[in-house]
Structure 1
Amino acid sequence: MPLSRVVNDPEALTITVVADFPVPVERLWNAYADPRQLERFWGPPEYPAKFTRHDLFPGGRSHYVMTGPEGDKAPGFWEVLAVDPGKSFEVRDGFADEAGVENTAMPSMRMVFTFEATEGGSRVTTVTHFGSTEQLEQLLAMGMDEGMRSAIGQIDDVLADLASFAAERATEAHILSDSQVRVTRVVRGSVEQVWRAHHDADLMKRWLLGPDGWTMTVCEIATKVGDTYRYCWEPEGEGEGFGFDGVLLESVPPRRAVTTEHMTGTDYPSTTNQMTLTPVDGGTLLSIVITYPSAEVRDMVLATGMTDGMETSYARLERDVLVGS
């Protein structure tokens, strides 16, 4: 059991949780930086979480939904206030609706997570600050203390699971909801390198090709919010090409970009793609949350082998663009 101690301080309006683990501090930090890992312990076992957004950089935001055994949902958000990579981060944690919009009728709290190496491995100290005695008492009455204890008790299993999050794993898709899928891969390169590879037309034409035998003939990149983009591919031999177009909705270089995506020349509905780049051991965790118009469209796209084509492109990115750069 990792939990070392929990201290409730009504005078300071804080709850402090200290937990020790027999792993390097970098491994513990990654468990909080990687949404695939974080959602396996953020929330008690009977209310597992799904993170539909996780931006661990100052000014970023995270959205999560915890789902109970009867299907009842408890959405929440993090507003990321400060980050010292590998050492600490600070967020405002609060209640929300399923779209991540804050529920201002409920209190929010400030949480500071501090990571440090110890003789036996590493330690994370979480200090939760409340705005008033009434807020502290309200959240304790809702079971926050017990929830934090049971949630942090799950981290051991996550830390022991090295294979599921290894940098060597191929591109994977995880269903988050009826309309959302998260595609992830650790790319062996820095955040800045991976961002540039997605925003430099000459580089994109070298790697964003899917299966062998295709050429990217058009690469018009959106550089400002509101700009449109257009990408087209043609087979090197016989066959018909295809393309995508869309609009840049949000851009926070070099960490986050949100776009619409539509297959050119069709009446297919657009998707919304949220790309987040997070530094982790082994490179950069590339995470794309795709929102589809329906579960049927989601399943149809996944059945095309989408992730296989993406994996071929990302492997080419590492091999032909990032190695030696």
Structure 2
Amino acid sequence: MPVIDINADTENLTMTVTAEFAAPIERVWQAYSDPRQLERFWGPPSWPARFHTWDHTVGGRADYSMTGPRGETSRAYWEFLEIEEPHRFSVLDGFSDENGQPNADMPAMRMDFTFESTESGTRMVTSSTFDSLEALQTVIDMGVIEGTRMAMSQIDAVLRDLREYAEGKGTTVEFLDDTHISITRLVNGPIDLVWRAYNEPDLIRQWMLGPDGWEMTECEVARKPGDRYRTSWAPVGDTEGEPFGFEGEMLLVDPPRRAVQVERMQGTDGPDILNDVNFYEEDGVTLVTVLMEFPDKDTRDAVLATGMADGMEQSYQRLESTVLA
């Protein structure tokens, strides 16, 4: 976790974030000055950012939005005040309306980013200054502290070559908090084909089978928000186990980058689990990230205790050896 400290100072109306990266200062600067890299970690995992304009000059402006798992959108902007590559830059950060104009009803703040080389890499200190205690409290109440920690947890994958970061690690589970986990798997194939493998029934039936000895007996896919889906599995031959399945609703689709669904066990009233699946391609390989949101810690632990991660790994191996071969 890159973030080592977040301090909200209500007396001086500031919030300071300190983070350390195992990368040289030039590489960290590049991540913060390239919108395609920045948008991979600027928003929390469940609210990824997308930069629509980018004028990285003093007096220039960048416009971006963050989209929640149910399609909610928050728009904001940066106005670049100072730039001193690769050591510091300052922006006015504020919310904007649907037309990109500053939203005067929401707080704006000055953000100063400073970067310093260390023996092990780079230390970054971000200081945000607010006009009033009310403005500072507003962003705290919006969850900015925990959101910042979760957002910054994504930067390690950006600062390193994707193959170097994830190849050979298999299916990895990271606990974000009591109700969120992040599951990642590097898939050896281009994003367009991986997206198809996740969304076309004929391909899904070839790989999304979990452990050996199971078959998919039902595969109804959802293609747009509001569509229902249904998937079922059953043991084959001497394999032990009872047939089971999931059903749910598609909440958001952004091909080939993101799909969000809510699911529950068939024939039950829940609990509902949110699956937010994101895809990112680099150098011919695709990183699949599944953010799962549970209603409580007990549900999270019960789902993981089923051996879900092991079953996913076997499915991903089958995906690479059959669909992408």
Q: Same fold, TM exceeding 0.5? A: yes
CA shift, 1:220, in A, is 0.8
List per-residue Cα deviations over 1:262-307 (Å, max 9, x = no partner).
1112343111111111112451111111110101111221222211
| Offset at residue 310 of structure 1 (A) | 0.5
Asked whether the equivalents of residues 166 and 185 of structure 2 are also in contact (C-alpha less than 8 Å), the reply is: no
**Partners of 1:219 and 1:230 within 8 A in 2:** yes
Cα pair 1:217 1:234 within 8 Å, conserved: yes
Letter in 1 for 2:257: R
Q: 1:130 to 1:170 in 2, by over 3 A?
A: closer
Gaps of at least 5 residues in structure 1 are 1-18, 43-49, 54-60, 63-77, 84-89, 113-122, 133-137
In the TM superposition, what is the alpha-carbon distance from 1:178 to its structure 2 partner?
A: 1.9
Letter in 2 for 1:52: P
Is 1:212 paired with 2:183?
A: no
Q: 1:208–1:29: structure 2 CA closer, same or farther, 3 Å change rule?
A: farther
1:322–1:160 distance in 2 versus 1, CA, 3 Å: closer
Contact 1:93 1:110 (8 Å CA) reproduced: no
Kindly provide the amino acid, as one letter, of the partner of residue 210 in structure 1: G
Confirm whether residue 21 of structure 1 aligns to residue 23 of structure 2: no
Go from structure 1 to structure 2 and tell me whether the alpha carbon gap of 1:311 and 1:130 turns closer, same or farther (over 3 Å shift): closer
Provide the secondary structure at the position in 2 that maps to 1:309. Answer: helix
1:21 aligned counterpart, secondary structure: helix
Question: Residue 254 of structure 2 corresponds to which residue in structure 1?
Answer: 252
Q: CA separation of 1:229/1:22 partners in 2, compared to 1, >3 Å: closer, same or farther?
A: closer
Change over 3 Å in CA distance of 1:125–1:229 after alignment to 2? farther
Structure 2 counterpart SS, 1:165: helix
Q: Secondary structure at the match of 2:44?
A: strand
Cα distance in 2, alignment partners of residues 235 and 127 from structure 1: 59
| Structure 1 residue 241 displacement after superposition | 0.9
Give the % identical residues. 36
Over 3 Å counting, the alpha-carbon distance change for 1:214 and 1:199 in structure 2 is same
Residues 231 and 301 (structure 1 numbering): CA distance in 2 closer, same or farther, change over 3 Å? same
Counterpart CA distance in 2 for 1:194 and 1:125 is: 38
Give, as a single letter, the amino acid of the residue that structure 2 aligns with 1:153.
T
Query: What letter matches 2:180 in structure 1?
Result: Q
| Structure 1 match to 2:45 | 52
Return structure 1 stretches of 4+ with deviation > 6 angstroms.
28-31, 123-127, 160-164
How far apart are the structure 1 equivalents of 2:279 and 2:78?
24
Cα distance change of structure 1 residues 263 and 93 upon mapping to structure 2, 3 Å threshold: closer
Alpha carbons of 1:314 and 1:225: their partners in 2 closer, same or farther (altered >3 Å)?
same
User: Which amino acid in the other structure matches residue 250 of structure 2?
Assistant: L
**Quick one: distance in 2 between partners of 1:303 and 1:139?**
44
Cα displacement string for residues 65-122 of structure 1 (whole angstroms, at most 9, x for unaligned residues): xxxxxxxxxxxxx453159xxxxxx55389x9xx9875x9xxx53279xxxxxxxxxx
Q: How far off its partner does 1:256 sit?
A: 1.1
Asked if the contact 2:234–2:242 (Cα under 8 Å) also holds between the matched residues in 1, the reply is: yes
What's the CA shift for 1:206? 0.5
The CA deviation at 1:248 is: 0.8
Q: Is the CA contact (8 Å cut-off) linking 1:33 and 1:278 kept in structure 2?
A: no
Structure 2, unaligned runs of 5 or more: 1-23, 55-61, 81-85, 95-101, 103-107, 125-154
The reply to whether residue 110 of structure 1 matches residue 78 of structure 2 is yes
Alignment of 1:164-313 (within 5 A): 165-238=165-238, 239-281=241-283, 283-313=285-315
> Which moved further from structure 2: 190-199 or 175-184?
175-184
Answer yes or no: is the 8 Å Cα contact 2:87–2:116 preserved in 1: no
Across the two proteins, how many residue pairs are aligned to each other? 239
Aligned to 1:87: none
Q: Matches of residues 115-194 of structure 1 in structure 2 within 5 Å? A: 128=91, 139-140=109-110, 144-145=111-112, 147-149=113-115, 153-154=122-123, 158=156, 159=159, 165-194=165-194
